[in-house]
Amino acid sequence: MKFHVPDMSCGHCTAAITKEIASLDPTAEVAADLVARIVEVKTGQPDTAVIDAIKAAGYDAASV
């Protein structure tokens, strides 16, 4: 699943998002594209749970 994270702009942002998603699902695979501001996540968790984790990291997110 892919999410647009408009305020993600640096390595710190991606680290914070990855950490929150890992707390939701330690086996999740997270890949971030800073230029496109897209986070791709491979997990068994629902989209809404991943969006909530990204929001918990301090960033808005929407499914792409």
Residue 6 pLDDT class (50, 70, 90 cuts)? very high
The per-residue pLDDT for 52 is: 97
Q: What is the mean pLDDT of the chain?
A: 97
Number of structural domains in the chain: 1
CB 13 within 8 A of CB 7: yes
Task: Please report the pLDDT score of residue 31 as a whole number.
Answer: 97
CA distances from 10 to 14, 20, 27, 37 (A): 7, 16, 23, 10
Instruction: Take residue 2 and report the two structure tokens written for it.
Output: 């892919």
Q: Are 61 and 5 in contact (CB under 8 A)?
A: yes
Provide the CATH number for the domain around residue 26.
3.30.70.100
Residue 30 phi, psi (nearest 5): -120, 130
User: What integer pLDDT is reported at residue 45 of this predicted model?
Assistant: 97
For residues 54 and 19, give the distance between their C-alpha atoms in angstroms, rounded to a whole number.
Answer: 9
Range of the domain at 14: 2-63
